[in-house]
Structure 1
Amino acid sequence: MVCFNFNEIKTKKTLIGLGLGQIISLLSTLVSFTASEIARKGISAPTSQSFLGYVSLAIVYGGIMLYRRSTIKVKWYNYFLLAFVDVEANFLVVKAYQNTSMTSVMLLDCWAIPCVLVLTWVFLKTRYRFMKISGVFICIVGVVMVVFSDVHAGDRAGGSNPVKGDFLVIAGASLYAVSNVTEEFLVKNADMIELMSFLGLFGAIIAAIQISIFERGALRDIHWTTEAILLYIGVALALFMLYSLITVLIMINGATMFNLSLLTSDMWAVLIRTFGYHEKVDWLYFLAFATTATGLIIYSMKEKYQEEHRTGEVVDEEAVQRKLLDEDDEPGT
């Protein structure tokens, strides 16, 4: 029989994870609002917005890495593949908003959560018990309530091509899951500074190539006013803070906790619309926020059975990860 230790909610690690997750969720919401403001000005260049974020990561963390003269702990092509997946995930989800409704994006974006659970279970040997699964389920219930609230409030815009948009969301969510799990593996076995440096470097290179191919004409037609420049700078700063905090949260609580925390970003958007733009929202939003927050708290709790076996499981997981790194360093592998 599995017993729950509710006193574990008071642990420092749990509180840090919950608080950090909500800061990340709020930052993600602010990035979305800024990006939508850029789109309202007729600027259709999604990759160019993330480009400056990658450049800032490369400059700041790359400078720290050069100052420390750190040795590279993981092969460079691992970071290149991670950056490629991350850039394309951002691109696909932003493009999805142009084809399908916000309701569909919100619902289908949850696909990243089961993907992360499967990937961490298969590759990182993470064990999920009843408490964790219950927390995930309650979080998803909260998001479904948000979707029903949108329908109840009349958000029935289908988009120009709903099938294409839904497919883009599913593809983007799957890539986000791969990116998050890869980051969890690298940050726990290499170094945060090294991860951010190479993610920024290769992300900037890949984004620049993609911009030159697909968005060069759109950028050429932009009327670069002071407001437009400030919006781009704002997105870059927000993305820099977002990626930095994401890495810390993944290092402390794992990729699953990060993806669950992002579920509350829609609720933060509601609060911004309510108090910033004085828009009326459906009461289900607030119930959904409370439900998702409850799921996050339950996911963060520890089970007594899990705690008793935690030491052995962590040792096994770390041993598997070290073995993978050692095999990667062998010639011909």
Structure 2
Amino acid sequence: MDQSEKIQVDDLSTQESVSPIPERKTWRQRLAFLKDPAFLKVLFLGQLLSLCITGTNVTTTELANKYNVNAPTMQTFLVYACLAIVYNAYAIYKRGIKGWLLQFWRRGIYYFILGFVDVEGNYFVVKSFQYTSMLSAMLLDCWSTPVCMILSYFFLKVRYRWVQFLGVFIALCGLGMLVASDVITGKNYDAVDPVRGDLFCLLGATFYGISNVGEEFMARKHPLYEVIGMFTFFATFINLVQMMIFERSQFATLVGQPEAVGMIVVYTVCMFVLYSLAPVLFRWGSALLYNLSLLTSDFYGLIFGLGLFGYQVTVMYPFAYVVVILGIAIYYIFPNPTPPMGTFDKDKMEQERRELFGLPTQDEEQPQTVSS
């Protein structure tokens, strides 16, 4: 081998030893997710759930202002009862009585805690509006978003990028613009007991965050009909006990007011859709993305409020709506971070079914090779 051939061989070996530098993605490549069907599904579902939240807010406001009904526990009892009946009936159809009872035996304590947290989250947030101002309640209710992020980081081991923190911050800024617009239009009202109301709202938002992350954790490990049916089963009885203790007198306010009963029915339908589809968004995205999506509910509330409550539109509203959507899009620039446990798929469904019924797993069914 002459000297020139030796130099060429050395150059080739040097090039092979050096790892290639990865190409940096362009902004067009990073923004390609805007056309991704997965992102569009998450965005659409999130806004549908935001409309459901708007429906619950509008009916609750109408019940309090027009019909003098202030009973958060009574309102949600019918929701939990309907969810428990529908999804537990489907669970029995899918798994039989034995499988349904095994769910209680093996995971009942977790669903009891989840049901209790969800009931109290609904109770304290709705109750806070009776004591604090709308401005404070709307701002403090956003505490559920950072609670979701913190709990997901520590308990679900989700790791976020700095761009995703920026997206959350921008979305919250958009909500701040909505609240500022509410103050300008005079939608705020004086606080009766701001300290109590603010504490109630913070406590309720914390319960919401815990409930969302806990529900996401269970939805990634078990079928949705089990998750929804089980925790609403316990929530129904917890809600019933709490209603009998604190809100027995509220039943009299519904006598002779069929319109109020109709409002509760509309509230129940909205909440039924919300509780049925929220776990789907937890799987497609995350509990954090769910909370970010709900930030647009105040904008939709304005649309209903124009005719029902005489609200006025300011220039901030459309800009604030765009800012919230922009924050969600920025959060989604990088792939949505998921917990190491992954999501619920066919393989995990079969493995979960075998573990529930005490059957051998697929690995255990593999024949063991006998060494000669």
The TM-score, its normalising length taken from structure 2, stands at 0.79
User: Any conservation in 2 of the 1:126–1:317 contact (CA below 8 Å)?
Assistant: no
Report which of the two has the higher share of helix: 1
Q: Distance in 2 between matches of 1:2 and 1:94?
A: 48
The residue matched to 2:84 in structure 1 has which SS? helix
CA distance in 2, matches of 1:144, 1:228: 32
- Once the 2 structures are TM-superposed, how far is the Cα of residue 95 of structure 1 from its aligned partner? 0.6
Secondary structure of 2:68 counterpart: coil
1:24: which partner in 2?
Answer: 49
Q: Corresponding residue for 2:39?
A: 14
Instruction: Provide, for residues 69-124 of structure 1, a one-character-per-residue CA deviation record: whole Å limited to 9, x for no partner.
Output: 25355511101100000000000011100001111111111111111101000000
Greater than 4 Å deviation, 4+ residue runs: 1-4, 275-278
TM-score of the pair, normalised by structure 1: 0.88
SS in 1 for 2:132: coil
Q: Measure how far apart 1:130 and its partner are.
A: 2.2
Distance 2:247 2:303 in 1: 33
CA distance in 2, matches of 1:264, 1:221: 32
Please state whether the residue corresponding to 2:130 is helix, strand or coil: coil
Which is further off, 292-301 or 135-144?
Answer: 292-301
Aligned position for 2:85: 59
Query: Which structure has the larger Rg?
Result: 2
Equivalent position SS for 1:69 = helix
Amino acid at match of 1:67: Y
> How large is the RMSD of aligned CA atoms in angstroms?
2.4
Q: Report the Cα offset of residue 156 of structure 1.
A: 4.7
Structure-1 residue corresponding to 2:61: 36
Aligned match of 2:211: 179
Q: Choose between structure 1 and 2 for higher RCO, CA contacts under 8 A separated by at least 6 residues.
A: 1
Unpaired segments of 5 or more residues in structure 1? none
Deviation for aligned residue 1:148: 1.8
Offset, 1:245: 1.1
Instruction: Report the CA distance between 1:265 and its aligned residue.
Output: 0.5
The 1:105/1:56 distance shift into structure 2, 3 A limit, reads same
| 1:268-314 Cα deviation digits (max 9, x unpaired) | 111222366663222111111110011111212326xx8xxx8xx86
- Alpha carbons of structure 1 residues 52 and 111: separation in structure 2 relative to 1, 3 Å: same
Q: CA deviation at 1:226?
A: 2.3
Q: Decide whether aligned partners of structure 1 residues 141 and 186 sit closer, same or farther in structure 2, where only a CA change above 3 A counts.
A: same
Look up the equivalent residue of 2:31 and give its one-letter code. Answer: F
Listed as ranges, the matches of 1:86-101 within 5 Å are: 86-101=118-133
Identity among equivalent positions (%) equals 36
Q: In the alignment, which residue of structure 1 is the partner of 2:192?
A: 160
Q: Distance in 1 between matches of 2:71 and 2:243?
A: 8
Distance in 1 of aligned mates of 2:162 and 2:307: 38
Aligned residue runs from structure 1 range 1-333, under 5 A: 5-40=30-65, 41-69=67-95, 71=99, 72=102, 75-274=107-306, 279-302=311-334, 316-318=340-342
Stretch deviating more after TM superposition (153-162 or 260-269): 153-162
